[in-house]
Copies of this chain bind each other. A is one copy, B any other.
Amino acid sequence: MDDLKLIRRKPRSDMVRNRERLLDAAKFVFSAGGPDASLEAVARRAGLGIGTLYRHFPTREALFEAVYRHEVEELGAYAERLKSGVAPVDALRLWLHANVELVATKKGMLAALALATHAPADLYAYSLDRLTRAVGELLQRAVDTDEIRSDISPEDLIRALVGMCHLHDQPGWQVSVLRLVDVFVDGLRIRG
């Protein structure tokens, strides 16, 4: 067939299956309990041993990355889409709002976004890179048209976003946070 066969055997079926189970369980547990939820709870929900979880995902962050890879990719793609057809500043605002809404549904997303700024190097995956780049271009576009200040990095923006989403367990937080985000975007604009 191919040379790979000579080097590696095909991945074990139970391993593939268990990985999926762990991701499903983690998605559930993190969405409900937030990023600090117990990893043993994840393993329990997956019906697997804790050792198996750690073999698949050596750190909590690695698990975040895998669980929310899809969402992060979508956010990156959305940012890319917003680059055309929408006014630069509006694009920024829309994108940030989309983030808030995603976090509202899946609490764990916060941690995944934070990864885009914490950069633990070894798991700085493609999706995170794409996200950061896309946001950077969103910012740059607005800078190029002299609409916003130029001293804010993509990381700064994401950090601010994550920060404003934090601390909000109380009901109705979403409205407040969206307002704070609007204030922030307004603050980015150069006063004409």
Contacts and interface: CB of A to CB of B under 8 A. Distances in A.
Interface of A: 114, 117-118, 149, 151-152, 156, 159-160, 162-168, 176, 179-180, 182-188, 191
Of A114, A152, A164, chain B has the most CB atoms within 10 Å of the CB of A164
B184 A156 contact: no
21 contacts: A118-B167, A149-B183, A152-B180, A152-B183, A156-B179, A159-B164, A159-B168, A160-B164, A160-B180, A162-B167, A163-B163, A163-B164, A164-B164, A166-B166, A183-B184, A183-B188, A184-B184, A184-B187, A186-B186, A186-B187, A187-B187
Q: Copy number in this complex? A: 2
Describe A's contact surface by its main secondary structure.
Answer: helix
